[in-house]
Structure 1
Amino acid sequence: MNRTTPTATLISPAQLLADTKRPMHTPAGLVGDTPLLWIGAPFTATGRGFWSKLEGHNPGGIKDRTALHMVRAARERGQLLPGAPIVESTSGTLGLGLAGATYGHPVTVVTDPGMEPLMTGLLTAYGAEVDLVDTPHPTGGWQEARRHRVEELLAVHPDAWCPDQYNNPDNVAAYAPLAHELVAQLGRIDTLVVSVGTGGHSAGIASVLRGFFPHLRVAGVDTTGSTIFGQPAAQRLMRGLGSSIYPRNVAYDLFDEVHWVAAPEAVWAARRLARDHYATGGWSVGAVALVARWLARTLPAENRIVAVFPDGPQRYVGTVFNDAYCREHSLLGHLPADDPDEITHPGERVVTRWTRCTHITDPLAPAGRPASDIHALAGAAR
């Protein structure tokens, strides 16, 4: 029997390695250059879709970028001395970044009972100390309680440094490379969809992209019960987006619209993405994907939409992707509406389901003063 022997085309080792990442000497080298994935049917309408920036491909998620940048900048300015402790309030993702970007600094993460056991385990494994607050602040909720605990720890350790991700402008500056990656990967971007929590990555990415694309449309994604865009504070199940305080890094003047998404709607989208596209994440990813899906259907077909997925699914195996947890919190069986509800002003009424508003205001702005002026003053005062 005749047998054909396949012949390989001889190429040099340099050619074989041309499209691979270089070996890295430090974990910091693994951060950035994350991939884009097209999300189309069946998650979206046939013939429509959007690009997703998969920040879960960083070792710890999107906040690896800001952890590295804030620590490096503080060291260069002499604010963080060699070997000094780092203390920060976080729901988890920034803690992972800080633990990996310590340059020899001990890290204390101040969090609350809502942190997933898997995240607590990872932080401990990476050498961080987890400090748990046990009582929410009466008006500022868990976030304010965590910030008060950070102040207590800083008073006990005067050499310690707090990144203050909610107000530190380095949190914003850290995301310029991500914006540059998007420009290099796509060439043109018409619409950006981003979750909003501390305000860092939404402000950092959108401000740079606006410089390239002056007509860029920016859709912010918040959660019901969050105060960021002027809704009253309420109990929030979702972590990673939303706030019970008013972070000064939120650049209100950059947003064209805001969408509030409820937890069951985010769960539906995150699970549907996992089943249909093998790329998903937690609360923020589900909420962002739901909004991007709607924009892909309602905007012109040629509009190029990018949605930033801040992390992957791993930390959510006990929540978003756990049937028992979801049943306990009544998160299953809630198919989102085809279109969001609409309000004309953030204070029009309390929203409890996916809702959209195109009138953006800074809740702390004096009456009659544009949000852009307030944001500029806050930046000058930092």
Structure 2
Amino acid sequence: MRLPLVVGNTPLVRIDRPFTADDRGFWAKLEGFNPGGIKDRPALHMVRRARERGDLADGARIVESTSGTLGLGLALAGIAYGHPVTLVSDPGMEPLMQRMLRAYGAELHTVDQPCREGGWQEARRRAVRHILAGDPGAYCPDQYHNPDNVAAYAPMAHEVLEQTGGLDVLVCSVGTGGHSAGLSAVLRDHHPHLRVVGVDAVGSTIFGQPARPRLMRGLGSSILPRNVAYATFDEVHWVAPAEAVWACRRLAATTYASGGWSVGAVGLVASWVARTSAPGTRIVAVFPDGPQRYFDTVYNDEFCRNNGLLDVDPRSDPDLIEHPSHREVTRWTRCTTVADPAGPTAVRRR
């Protein structure tokens, strides 16, 4: 076994002008400095814990659904612990990512039709179950519901505390719910009044909006992951693809710190939080990956033009709705009532 020592201890960079004034910036945690991105952390942790429990035998196959970043992490874990890896994705996965995963030794399956309920994610999960049925010794980490996904981010939370000395606001994207839940649980032990701002995608059902086809990868969901800790959020923002592209490209051109869809969405929201907070507010935003894998999408003019993503400048402030059920959002929108769509209660944080 060759346990990677290159995961973690990622840097922070200060982001202010041209997004905010000098005294109202935020710190970006650059998880793109991990070999594959932020999900190297849960991939290694989930595989290690499964091995310790005996759920994953030596040499057994790992099978999982992924839009890309967790796939890179599982490929790394497979190499580190000696497991073959089979990944199930869909046609939205970038060609560059497909080639990278195969280069790292993963076997890639692509589903060809979304499910009526649950979309591409449910179609991928059904394909995973079919593969597992044919290989009784195989193991699925089940990133959407596995509490080890959440626990994997405790070391990252301690990194943030050591690097900042403390913080007032955490801004992070929400997909499986892993890093928002894992980080906030540890950080609130040290800072009980920490404000947590979740960033979702337009068309995602996580926070009670109707599920729609989504162009963006890496945040949002067509299913309801059990790892989402709804009570931890003070508010949620939904961001549209064109707004994320604008922020990605502006971050790249002005700070050199950029990434993909999640980074653009988080950067847009974190900039607004910084502008509207008191000077000196300590804000940390999680940038889950770097820009390299988005050569064919976010940073490709032809792709962006064909999808109507160019020449769209976001407004300076998001729309505001009182409850996620009040209307379907199509652009950057915020809501301070955070509701669990699977339950009757809503947590009013601010």
Identify the TM-score tier after normalising by the shorter chain: over 0.9
Match of 2:274 among 293, 296, 314: 296
Q: Offset of 1:44 from its aligned partner?
A: 2.2
- Paired residues for 1:20-169 under 5 Å: 26=2, 28-102=4-78, 103-169=81-147
Corresponding residue for residue 250 of structure 1: 228
Match of 1:216 in 2: 194
2:331 aligns with: 353
Q: Is the 8 A contact 1:41 1:48 kept in 2?
A: no
Give, in whole Å, the separation in 2 of the partners of 1:74 and 1:171.
12
Aligned partner letter, 1:312: G
One-letter identity of the residue aligned with 1:133: V
Query: Residues 176-197 of structure 1: CA distance to partner in whole angstroms, max 9, x if unpaired?
Result: 0000000000011000000000
Letter in 2 for 1:244: S
Range moving further from structure 2, 188-197 or 36-45: 36-45
Matches within 5 A, 1:325-336: 325-336=303-314
1:73 & 1:371 partners in 2: Cα distance? 32
SS of the equivalent of 1:350 reads: coil
**Which of 165, 172, 187 is the matching residue for 2:165?**
187
Matched residue SS, 1:47: helix
User: Is contact 1:27-1:100 (8 Å) kept?
Assistant: no
Give 1:47 deviation, angstroms. 3.2
Q: Which residue matches 1:277?
A: 255
Unaligned runs of 5+ in 2: none
- Tell me the equivalent position of 1:375: none
Mark the structure with the bigger radius of gyration. Answer: 1
Question: Using the alignment, how far apart are the partners of 2:23 and 2:302 within structure 1?
Answer: 36
| Cα RMSD for the two superposed structures | 1.2
Amino acid at match of 2:118: G
Q: Residue 225 in 1 paired to residue 185 in 2?
A: no
What's the secondary structure of 2:179's corresponding residue?
A: helix
**Percent same amino acid at aligned positions?**
68
Tell me the TM-score normalized by structure 2. Answer: 0.97
Query: What amino acid is the match of 1:183?
Result: L
Cα distance change of structure 1 residues 40 and 371 upon mapping to structure 2, 3 Å threshold? closer
Partner of 2:298: 320
Displacement, 1:370?
5.3
Q: Say which structure, 1 or 2, has more relative contact order (CA 8 Å, 6+ apart).
A: 2
CA distance in 1, matches of 2:173, 2:346: 22
Aligned length, in residue pairs: 346
1:175-224 CA distances to partner (integer Å, 9 max, x unpaired)?
00000000000011000000000000110001110110000000000000
Write the distance in 1 (CA, Å) between the matches of 2:111 and 2:29: 33
Q: Could you report, residue by residue, the CA deviation over 1:97-119 in whole angstroms, capped at 9, with x for unpaired residues?
A: 01111111000000000000110
